[in-house]
Structure 1
């Protein structure tokens, strides 16, 4: 059985970067998923591609966005830019069941916690400009993640249509008249 080395995984903490001897970071990736070095996770694919080009790419999986942005500051400011990987699943599908009932768990989160993934992770994670105003940000998605994002936008439009249909004006127009 092969023993796994530290270099087999991308670092997720500053201590792991220090163990590798990384003083200056290349691109820090923020992910909507817990870190897994698999081909279906955009952060892992993007991180490996950046590492293959000779840059250093630590990953901050599901950073806590509620308190004081501490998780965003942990890796430190990278030399060129930050990358945002929204996640392998649609955030709405991770939060809600088919009839919009809230889920109790999230399959792609550490400990299956349902509250670690934000809605619109690309938007939420790029709001880091308040912490690092001079930094450059890019959004990296696998085709599967792009499809999930499109489904989310479709879901939002459907939600707006339902709100309109629940309004009194829509009900008056939709009523059938009996003759």
Structure 2
């Protein structure tokens, strides 16, 4: 069991490394210039050079990759170019809302799945139809399902906001 757990842990680490490396490489290949996006087209060469230096964009890509990779064991994910703050702090700020959304989604899935499972167990005639329906729902792309649910609950039945989060100060408003 220990060997299996170790193997799975190493596989997870390799997967994280590969995903991070691919994301890093893809960001290098994307068109556009983050310095220009921050400062605009009219920025002076001195301002551009100063911002590139402060963001570390004046260093070669392999050096930037190594700095990012060597910071991972210390949980130093670097600084956000957009917000100018540590990425770990930004992720920690967003964690409570993310967990709330995960729990709400899990609760909603259970509220839908449990009655359907009980119905399928009680009625052998409905079991294949419900199984097919669940297979169809699982095969829908999440972006498509997201747009359909957004339309249903924000536009057609205005139960939820189309975007944004009002904050936890007013819980009924936050859940609406």
TM-score by length of 2: 0.27
Higher helix share: 2
Q: Kindly indicate whether structure 1 or structure 2 has the higher relative contact order, using CA contacts under 8 Å at least 6 residues apart.
A: 1
Q: Radius of gyration: which is bigger?
A: 2
Higher strand share: 1
